Chains A and B, each alone.
Chain A
Amino acid sequence: SQQGEEDPQALSIQEGENATMNCSYKTSINNLQWYRQNSGRGLVHLILIRSNEREKHSGRLRVTLDTSKKSSSLLITASRAADTASYFCATPALIQGAQKLVFGQGTRLTINP
């Protein structure tokens, strides 16, 4: 069952430009998380934003959350080659009586030197 869906599926930009990825979800949530995955590796947690927050920053990352539209965006400013990775949003979902994290299919970001 898909809760979060990222858009676009793939994004290619030049080093130094900003990258924006979007996530839409279906049901009410108490938080939304973003993760990064380098090719062939595990996922790394980037940032968690709670439902009562509208915006959160961490270094070059800025995350927004619009609960009325059930959407979130991840902005990476001044992109670097090392930012090349897949980015996933994750939201809690109630499955079989328990709350678990459900991941979208991700946005594949390529930073060109």
Chain B
Amino acid sequence: DVKVTQSSRYLVKRTGEKVFLECVQDMDHENMFWYRQDPGLGLRLIYFSYDVKMKEKGDIPEGYSVSREKKERFSLILESASTNQTSMYLCASSPFRAPLRAGLNTGELFFGEGSRLTVL
């Protein structure tokens, strides 16, 4: 079975702290994604990556950055956490070949268990 592991299920941080959310997948997937999930807003894409050292902005990249130094690991970074970044963060991966350009099917995503971040 595909396994996507997020390093922390629950985190509590203070405003202004730098926060790292780590995600590792074990199925050699090319594509990895970071979403945040908020009540009433659903899942919103923050960043995604279709190859090592590649990254593309999603719908809400402001206040976030990402790192993909190795194929299996995709990190989400909050340079200076703010209270409006309190949320559930979900990492996902998919095996479809990158880039995910128009005309290609977008297949199944495999999600981690989520990281619930509270910023005080």
> Which A residues are within 8 Å of any B CB, using their own CB?
1-2, 30-31, 33, 35, 40-45, 48, 50, 88, 90, 92, 94-106
Give A104 to B102 CA distance when docked, in angstroms.
21
Q: Which of A1, A48, A106 contacts B108 (CB 8 A)?
A: A48
Q: Which of chain B's residues has its CB closest to A105's CB?
A: B42
Chain B 79-120, CB-CB to A under 8 Å as 1, else 0, gives 000000000101010000001111111111111111010000
Q: Which of A97, A101, A105 contacts B109 (CB 8 A)?
A: A101
Closest 7 pairs (CB-CB, A-B): A42-B111, A92-B106, A105-B42, A103-B43, A43-B111, A45-B108, A42-B113
Interchain CB contact under 8 A, A92 and B101: no
- What are 19 sample pairs from A and B whose C-beta atoms fall under 8 A apart? A1-B59, A2-B42, A30-B106, A35-B109, A40-B116, A41-B113, A48-B107, A88-B42, A96-B56, A98-B48, A98-B50, A98-B101, A99-B106, A100-B45, A100-B100, A100-B106, A103-B43, A105-B40, A106-B42
Q: Does residue B12 face the partner (Cβ distance < 8 Å to A)?
A: no
> Which B residues are within 8 Å of any A CB, using their own CB?
4, 33, 35, 40-43, 45, 48, 50, 56-59, 88, 90, 92, 99-114, 116
Given the contacts A1-B59, A88-B43, A95-B59, A43 and B104 also touching, CB distance less than 8 Å:
no
Given the contacts A88-B43, A104-B42, A95 and B58 also touching, CB distance less than 8 Å:
yes
Q: Which of chain B's residues has its CB closest to A104's CB?
A: B42
Interchain CB contact under 8 A, B101 and A99: yes
A2-B42, A31-B107 provided; 16 other pairs, C-beta below 8 A?
A1-B59, A31-B106, A40-B116, A41-B114, A43-B43, A43-B90, A50-B105, A92-B106, A96-B56, A97-B101, A98-B99, A99-B104, A100-B58, A101-B109, A104-B42, A106-B42
Provide the main secondary structure of the chain A interface.
strand
Q: Which of A33, A40, A94, A103 contacts B102 (CB 8 A)?
A: A94
A93 to chain B, nearest CB (A): 9
Q: Which of B33, B101, B111 contacts A44 (CB 8 A)?
A: B111
Q: Which of chain B's residues has its CB closest to A51's CB?
A: B105
